[in-house]
Chain A
Amino acid sequence: MSLRPDLEVIATHVAPDTRVLDIGCGDGALMAALRDRGCDARGMELDPVLVERSVARGLSVVQGDADRDLADYPDRAFDYAILSQTLQTAARPDRMLDELLRVGRKAFVSFPNFAHWRMRTALMFGGRMPVTRHLPVSWYETENIHHVTVSDFRELAGAMRVTIDREWFFAGDHAVGSAGANWRAEHAVFELSR
């Protein structure tokens, strides 16, 4: 089964045989891939139907709200904390980043880049909040309450003294270089440490 590009990057760059917490793990696709790499993968997911599906795959997933339940985990309980496509839904993304780098030695964060040119042109010429292939939900019902751009994220990391160890960018399924990523990338993946 093929993974979403951001998950594929994460699955490839998590060191084998490590302890991993996947926050917002969905149906457990990334966890299953990490398990195949010998990782001890744990998950957290809000949607009970997705939790049930993950548990049915034999994965260890806890139904929980990342804004609240990450506090359950001791410091440095994991080698990696992974937050894919969830940062923009957090009540306080900055506190979420703190929590990631508290429970994990390193973190992977992926999110849709709101400054992609298609967004910018949709907003500029349409004058309305963009609804795109990757952000298909209207403003009033989207879970994405904190739209973020590549530049915003880099700036937040700097302000929080979080080190960006590696970064990857995608437009569709294609990799995009780091230069001009804030304009060209639909998705960003960052590997972080502190």
Chain B
Amino acid sequence: MPPAKASKSYTLPVPLPLDGGQALDGVTIAYETYGELAADKGNAILICHALTMDQYVASANPVTGKPGWWHQSVGPGKVIDTDRFHVICANVIGGCMGSTGPASLAPDGAPYAMRFPVITIRDMVRAQVALLDGLGIARLHAVVGGSMGGMLALSMAANFPNRAARVLAIATTARHSAQNIAFHEVGRQAVMADPDWQGGEYYGSGRAPDKGLSVARMAAHITYLSEAGLTEKFGRNLQDRPDGTKGAKSFGFDADFQVESYLRHQGSGFTQRFDANSYLYITRAMDYLDLAEEHGGKLADAFAGTQARFCLVSFDSDWLYPTAESRHVVHALNAAGAAVSFVELRAPHGHDSFLLDVPALDRVMKGFIG
């Protein structure tokens, strides 16, 4: 995996305390910003990225060369208008795009690998709040995120209730379900079963668990889509064979079906831009998420006394974080007396709908963010 250089980075002045009981020294956070910060610093929006995304929310990713992962919604004149707002997006700790993670060097000069402490969503939030402190931003206009980014947004609202005036959480949950954990465990086992993983000590060995990470990505990718979306896109269509034969079965185990070829492509492409150990650590952090558990077992208590306004959005075809998960959060926010909006939007493409063109989502986001 080629090393990524973030355009901006901030090193925490003090060790970062972690839920696991340790403290992490010399934490660096790689981040991007877009738009001018107002003199009163009141126009900042923090966007939190999903599991395999990064800080390049609205600008080209230097590793892949692709446009920012939310470029259609974030930018000048767009739904999150960088002509009006100062947008910050930071790579989570545990990540592999410049923030401190398992591939970073430990104080002894060798990569952390599996010596990196297991982190939580709240630890990631602590790091981002420390970044906001460093930037002198006391209160965000909004914190926004989809999927894992939504978990960070909700965790920030629960643990740092005064840091954001608005909380927009899309296609997300306040706790990882057994099914969510199960899928992640399949992915982690695929990575760790790859002999090239080498107990996580693959850095500098010339080998990396690309096969395992690729399988992990393939399995995960299915959970981001919907059956209807897959059927519409691929059906049972067959690939053209390398010798030019059109649409014939090989009676072997090549990628006969287009959906197989697509998944293989997704898997191998992913290994070019993502560190396998980061995948282990970040999926673990998501599995550990249970905002209610963090707050005495009652989710409403996580949001007690909040003055923030909330907006939750789910998609009817998302079976990874289904509408019931959003409703569960809405229920708790209502019980806490919080100002909350919620809508389930129709979108055919499953969990990934939040990254796709859903005009209704744009209207909701624009109205909520103001």
Instruction: Mark A residues whose CB is within 8 Å of B.
Output: 40, 42, 48-49, 51-64, 72-74, 77
Contacts and interface: CB of A to CB of B under 8 A. Distances in A.
Given A55-B367, A56-B367, A48 B341 contact: no
A73 B341 CA distance: 14
Interface in B321-347: 327, 330-331, 334-335, 337, 339-346
Given A52-B363, A52-B364, A58-B368, A74 B335 contact: yes
Contact of B360 (A52, A61, A72, A73): A52
A168 B41 CA distance: 50
Residue of A51, A57, A59, A63 most packed against chain B (CB within 10 A)? A63
B370 interface: yes
Nearest to B309: A60
B334 A62 contact: yes
Contacts of B335: 72-74
Given A55-B364, A73-B334, A48 B339 contact: no
B202 to A, nearest CB: 47
Contacts of B346: 48
B370 A62 contact: no
Given A56-B364, A58-B368, A40 B341 contact: no
A63 B370 CA distance: 20
Contact of A56 (B327, B339, B363): B363
B53 interface: no
Contact of B341 (A62, A72, A74, A77): A62
A42 B339 contact: yes
Contact of A58 (B331, B334, B337, B370): B370
A70 to B, nearest CB: 10
B363 A72 contact: no
Contacts of B366: 56
A55 B311 contact: yes
Contacts of A51: 341-343
A55 B343 contact: yes
16 contacts: A42-B339, A53-B363, A55-B311, A55-B341, A55-B343, A56-B363, A56-B367, A58-B367, A60-B339, A60-B340, A60-B341, A62-B334, A64-B342, A72-B335, A74-B335, A74-B337
Nearest to A63: B343
Residue of B334, B337, B339, B367 most packed against chain A (CB within 10 A)? B334
Contacts of A55: 311, 341, 343, 363-364, 367-368
A55 B363 CA distance: 8
Contacts of A77: 334, 337
Nearest to A41: B339
B312 to A, nearest CB: 9
A52 B346 CA distance: 11
A179 to B, nearest CB: 41
B330 A40 contact: no
A48 B343 contact: yes
Contacts of B360: 48-49, 52
Contacts of A63: 342-344
B144 to A, nearest CB: 14
B363 A48 contact: no
A152 to B, nearest CB: 31
Contacts of A53: 363
Nearest to A42: B339
B50 to A, nearest CB: 22
A59 B340 CA distance: 9
Contacts of B311: 55
Given A42-B339, A48-B344, A57 B334 contact: no
B367 A57 contact: yes
A115 B318 CA distance: 46
Residue of A40, A49, A51, A54 most packed against chain B (CB within 10 A)? A51
Contacts of B327: 64
A56 B360 CA distance: 10
Nearest to B331: A72
A50 to B, nearest CB: 10
B171 to A, nearest CB: 15
A52 B370 contact: no
Nearest to B314: A63
B253 to A, nearest CB: 44
A80 to B, nearest CB: 15
In the A-B complex, the 3 residue pairs with the closest CB atoms: A56-B367, A60-B339, A51-B343
A40 B340 CA distance: 12
A62 B344 CA distance: 10
Contacts of B345: 48, 52
